[in-house]
Amino acid sequence: MQINPRLYPHPVLSWFSDDYPKRIFQPAINVSGNRGFFRISMTCKTSSRSIRELIGEKKAAYAVHVECSSTRYRSVFTSYDDEFEVDIPVGDLEGKVQVCRVIICTQTIINFSSEEFHEDFSGRSFDLTPGDVIAVAETIEFPADKQEDELARIPSIFSIRKNLTDNPPPLLVNISDQKIGVYLAPEVHLKFLSLNADHNIRSTLASAVLIPALIFTLERVANSEDPEEFMDYRWYRVLARRLADINVDIADLRNAIDDTVVLANRLVGDPLSNAFADLESVLFEQGE
């Protein structure tokens, strides 16, 4: 939820209005994470005595509204304390996360007035209901990057799916989602599922399916006028980290020393060499 400058039916302490001309609302935020949770730590301060009194009487509370469009996660957390923490499971957030920091009413308040109001409101009072915003800070964003977990592994950024369109090609790649979608024709998809159960030929399958999809993806990024257009996608951020590990800037792929074929094989762990070794092992066992 993006809070933009707007008019409220009652005075609101904000950065875009002078409803409280000599008062401020300054909430500080810090985001950290581990394998299980993202932790949002809040330190809220306001110089408005009137609003602090409402919070002390539990008629108002500090609140953060957390929203993630990628996962459709949306939730509000409130606290009467100036400092509080919120833990959100890593599975609930992905990509860009918006955090709105506000102070809201928690009880019905009749005839609320304050000497801190702008002189235009002199002598006026307002009825407030639970959920009404009485202070707001600018919306901030942070990327929900999942480090040191299973999502950092290259194979996890692929989604192998059956292509249900009419007369589909054997393999089709779509990168307009959180994972790189690899769509296989129904008969190919069926064989893939059957063969993937055999650990001895998974490297062969990676060479035949993942490598072409990854080359296609790297080519699209390299030829993009603005590679960061893909920033909201998980596959892009994972590739950016893995490429950085081998001293390659994903935003400058077109000038990389190695071409996309070489980079794709390095990222997946040289499946071609492993595939040949696996095939030799299988043929040797059959020969015996």
Continuous segment of H or E residues that includes residue 138:
none
Q: 133 and 156: one domain? A: no
Q: Domain for residue 170, yes or no?
A: yes
Q: 114 and 214: one domain? A: no
SS3 of 40-94: EEEECCECCHHHHHHHHCCCEEEEEEEEECCCCEEEEEEECCCEEEEEEEHHHCC
* SS3 at position 205: helix
Identify the domain boundary among 144, 175, 200. Answer: 144
Tally of structural domains, the chain: 2
Domain that residue 230 falls in: 150-287
Q: Domain for residue 1, yes or no?
A: no
Q: Domain for residue 253, yes or no?
A: yes
Identify the domain boundary among 96, 128, 144. Answer: 144
Determine the distance from the C-alpha atom of residue 85 to the mean position of all C-alpha atoms in its chain, rounded to a whole number: 19
Q: 132 and 163: one domain? A: no
Q: 120 and 182: one domain? A: no
Q: 140 and 156: one domain? A: no
Q: Domain for residue 41, yes or no?
A: yes
Asked whether the beta carbons of 234 and 95 are under 8 A apart, the reply is yes
Looking at residue 123, which CATH number applies to its domain?
A: 2.60.40.10
User: Whole-model pTM?
Assistant: 0.54
- Cβ neighbours of residue 124 closer than 8 Å, sequence gap 6 or more: 113, 117
- Please tell me the predicted confidence (pLDDT) of residue 205: 82
Q: 158 and 217: one domain? A: yes
CA distance 93 to 55: 30
Identify the domain boundary among 144, 172, 189. Answer: 144
Q: 49 and 167: one domain? A: no
Q: Domain for residue 4, yes or no?
A: no
Please give the chain's pLDDT, 288 residues, in tens: 555 566 789 999 999 999 999 999 989 999 987 667 889 999 999 999 999 999 999 999 999 999 998 788 899 999 999 999 999 887 788 778 999 999 999 999 999 999 999 999 988 999 999 999 999 999 999 888 655 443 345 667 888 999 999 999 999 999 999 889 999 999 999 988 888 777 677 778 888 888 999 999 999 999 998 877 898 888 998 899 889 888 999 989 988 899 999 999 888 877 788 777 777 776 766 665
Q: 109 and 229: one domain? A: no
Q: 180 and 127: one domain? A: no
